[in-house]
Copies of this chain bind each other. A is one copy, B any other.
Amino acid sequence: MRQSKLFTKTIKQAPKDETSFNAKTLIKAGFIDKSSAGIYSFLPLGLRVHNKICDIVREEMNAIGGQEILMPALTPKKAWQKTDRWDSFDVLFKVIGNNKREYALGATHEEIVTPLVQKHIFSYKELPVYIYQIQTKFRDELRAKAGLIRGREFSMKDLYSFHVDKKDLDKFYEITKDAYFKIFNRCGLSEITYLTYSSGGDFSKYSHEFQTLAENGEDTIYICDDCKIAINQEIIDEQKVCPNCKNKDLRKEKSIEVGNIFKLGTRFSNAFDFFYTNKKGQKHDIEMGCYGIGPSRIVGTIVEVYHDNKGIIWPESVAPYQVHLLDLEAKKTSEDIYNKLLKNEVEVFYDDQDDKSAGEKFADADLIGIPYRLVVSKKTLEQNSVEFKKRDKQETKLVKIEKIVEELGGNK
* Interface of A toward B, CB cutoff 8 Å: 5-9, 11, 30, 33, 35-37, 39-44, 47, 50, 65, 67-76, 93-95, 97-99, 101, 103, 105, 112, 116-117, 119-121, 125-126, 129, 131, 136, 138, 140, 142, 152-153, 355
State whether B70 touches A35 (Cβ < 8 A). no
Q: Nearest B residue to A1 by beta-carbon distance?
A: B67
Q: A35-B76, A95-B95 are in contact. Are A121 and B7 (CB under 8 A)?
A: yes
Q: How far is B398's CA from A140's CA once the two chains are assembled, in angstroms?
A: 60
Q: Nearest B residue to A140 by beta-carbon distance?
A: B97
Main secondary structure of the interface of A (DSSP, over half): mixed
Q: How far is B142's CA from A101's CA once the two chains are assembled, in angstroms?
A: 11
Q: A7-B126, A93-B97 are in contact. Are A35 and B75 (CB under 8 A)?
A: yes
Q: How far is B192's CA from A394's CA once the two chains are assembled, in angstroms?
A: 61
| Between-chain CB contacts (< 8 Å), 15 pairs | A5-B65, A6-B67, A7-B120, A7-B126, A35-B71, A36-B101, A37-B101, A41-B71, A41-B72, A41-B116, A43-B69, A44-B67, A73-B73, A73-B153, A93-B95
Q: Nearest B residue to A65 by beta-carbon distance?
A: B5
A38 to B: closest C-beta gap in Å:
9
State whether A152 touches B30 (Cβ < 8 A). no
Residues of B within 8 A of A41 (CB): 69-72, 112, 116
Partner of A50, one of B70, B73, B121: B70
Partner of A120, one of B9, B131, B152: B9
For the complex of A and B, 10 pairs with smallest distance between CB atoms: A7-B129, A42-B70, A36-B76, A41-B71, A97-B140, A39-B72, A33-B116, A72-B153, A44-B67, A8-B120
Residues of B within 8 A of A99 (CB): 142
Residues of B within 8 A of A8 (CB): 120
Partner of A44, one of B7, B68, B72, B153: B68
Q: How far is B65's CA from A35's CA once the two chains are assembled, in angstroms?
A: 24
Q: How far is B68's CA from A140's CA once the two chains are assembled, in angstroms?
A: 27
Known: A33-B116, A36-B103, A44-B67. 8 other contacts (CB 8 A): A7-B126, A35-B116, A47-B69, A50-B70, A74-B152, A95-B95, A105-B105, A125-B355
Residues of B within 8 A of A44 (CB): 67-69
